[in-house]
Amino acid sequence: MLRLIVRRILLMLAIALAVSALLFFTVTRLLGSPAEMMLGQDASPLAIARLNAQYGFDRPAVIQYLHWLGGALTGDLGRSYTTQQSVAAAIAARVPVTLELSLWSVALAVTAAVVSNTIPAMRRPLQGVVTAVNLVGITVPNFMLGVSLIFILSVKLNLLPSTGWVPWSNGIGAHLRHMIMPVLTLSAYYFGAFSIVYRAEYQAVIQRPFIQVARAKGLGEWRVAFRHAAPNAILPVITFVGISIGQLTGGAVVTETIFSMPGMGRLFVSSIESRDFPVMLAVGMLIVVGVVFANLLADIGYGIVNPQIRDPS
């Protein structure tokens, strides 16, 4: 177990270094001087030269990289080219938004998947509906879902606002109202995916002897389903959540863009669009490292919970 953890941590560090170096060198070569970018169309050659010297853009790439790395290790990720803000501060402000969106979405997806597939004695047609909704969730791209929701609920019916974020300080009600559509959009895919995993496991669990015993004891169907079968069937879903974290960041990127939420995903996309290199580098790395780390945690957690699976092969 310890070997697994150590190996994974080393891997994680190796990735972090490799990805950062790769990004850094490729982009600096492709980019040229960021000074013009920062100053815009009005820049005079003198101003550009001055900025280049000030930021050290005229130094060799390796020196710049080491400089950046040194800073990163002490928490200084540099300054954004477009806003001059500290990158670390910009990220710190954005992380809670993405976290909140992701947590709500996962919670909704898991709850909906479990509940809708556990309800006992479901009639065939109803099951069909759930299956259809699952299918739609998995196949309709989240940007299409988001745009459609905006069109129906915001543009046509004027029920919900079309942007996804107001701070908590504006009131819980307003905050939650703005979150409804983004959460629906992001959770749709996972509702479908979790349903598939859960349903398969549930079918297996429901055949097991202890369920028969419970039924024989005279317990009601609902109790059997929710108190006995569900908790056992939920395990693979939890694992699946861990595996999905990677994809979830992709989904969050698109969702945050559609609903203009000030989260990490949108920061990443806008840094790409504006070639804001320090931000792009820091966020890209953070996402990659974060996902690998989350997977590591999920693996460890699963390993602890289910001793049979400790052998990684």
Partner 1 sequence: MRRPGCWIGVSLVTFVAAVAVAAPALAPQNPYASGVDMLALPSAAHWLGTDDLGRDVLSRVIYGARASLPIGLGGALVATAIGVPIGLIAGTLRGATDVALAALIDLFIALPGLVLALIITVMVGANLRNLILVLGFVMWPPVARLVRGQALALREALFVEAARAMGGKPLWIIWRHIWPGVLPVVAAQFSISVSFAIFTSASLSFLGLGIPPPAADWGGMVRAGYDYLAINPWFSLAPGAAVSLAVMAFYIIGRSFR
Partner 2 sequence: MNGREETVRTSLIGRRHLMMGVTGGVLAAGTARAQSPSRGGTLTVGLSNDANTYDPIFSVQYTERYVLYLAFDTLVKYGPDFSILPELATSWETSADGKRIVFTLQQGVKFQDGTPFDAAAVKWNIDQRLDPAVNSPQRQVLAPIIASVEAIDPRHVAFNLVAPSPVLFSLLGERPGFMVSPEAWKKRGPTFGSQPVGTGAFVLKEWTRGSRVVLERNPNYWQPGLPYLDRIVVQDLAGSIIGVQRLITGEIDYVDQLTPSDILPIERRGDILLKPIKVGRWYFLQWHVNEPPFDNPKLRQAFAHAIDRDRLNEITMRGQGTVSNGPTPRGLWWYDPDLKFYPHDPARAKALLAEAGHPNGFEYVLSTPQVTVFQQINQLLQEQLGAVGIKLTLQPVAASEWYARVVSGATNLTPTRWTQRADPDGLLYILFDSEGFANTMKYRNDQVDALLGRARTVYDMAERKKLYAEAQQQIVNDLPMVPLIFGAEYAAMRDAVHGFEWIPDEIPRFRGLWKTAA
Residues at the site binding partner 1, with contacts judged by CB under 8 A: 7, 11, 15, 23, 26-27, 30, 135-136, 138-144, 147-148, 150-151, 155, 243, 246-251, 253-254, 257-258, 268-269, 272-273, 280, 284, 287-288, 291-292, 295, 312-313
Report what 110 binds from partner 2, partner 1, none; CB cut-off 5-8 Å by kind: none
Note whether 96 binds partner 2 by CB under 8 A: no
Note whether 39 binds partner 2 by CB under 8 A: yes
Note whether 28 binds partner 2 by CB under 8 A: no
Contact range with partner 2 by CB under 8 A, out of 45-53, 98-106, 197-205, 304-312: 45-53
Note whether 273 binds partner 2 by CB under 8 A: yes
Note whether 148 binds partner 2 by CB under 8 A: no
CB of 13 to partner 2, least distance (A): 31
Contact range with partner 2 by CB under 8 A, out of 2-10, 12-20, 40-48, 239-247: 40-48
Site residues (CB under 8 A) for partner 2, limited to 151-170? 161-163
| DSSP string for residues in the chain | -HHHHHHHHHHHHHHHHHHHHHHHHHHHHHH--HHHHHHGGG--HHHHHHHHHHHTTTS-HHHHHHHHHHHHHTT---B-TTT--BHHHHHHHHHHHHHHHHHHHHHHHHHHHHHHHH-TT--HHHHHHHHHHHHHHHHS-HHHHHHHHIIIIIIIS--S-SS----GGG-HHHHHHHHHHHHHHHHHHHHHHHHHHHHHHHHHHHTSHHHHHHHHTT--HHHIIIIIIHHHHTHHHHHHHHHHHHHHHHHHHHHHHHTT--SHHHHHHHHHHTT-HHHHHHHHHHHHHHHHHHHHHHHHHHHHH-GGG-S--
Report what 149 binds from partner 1, partner 2, none; CB cut-off 5-8 Å by kind: none
**List of residues contacting partner 2 (CB under 8 A):** 31-34, 36-37, 39-47, 50, 82-85, 90, 93, 161-163, 260, 262, 272-276
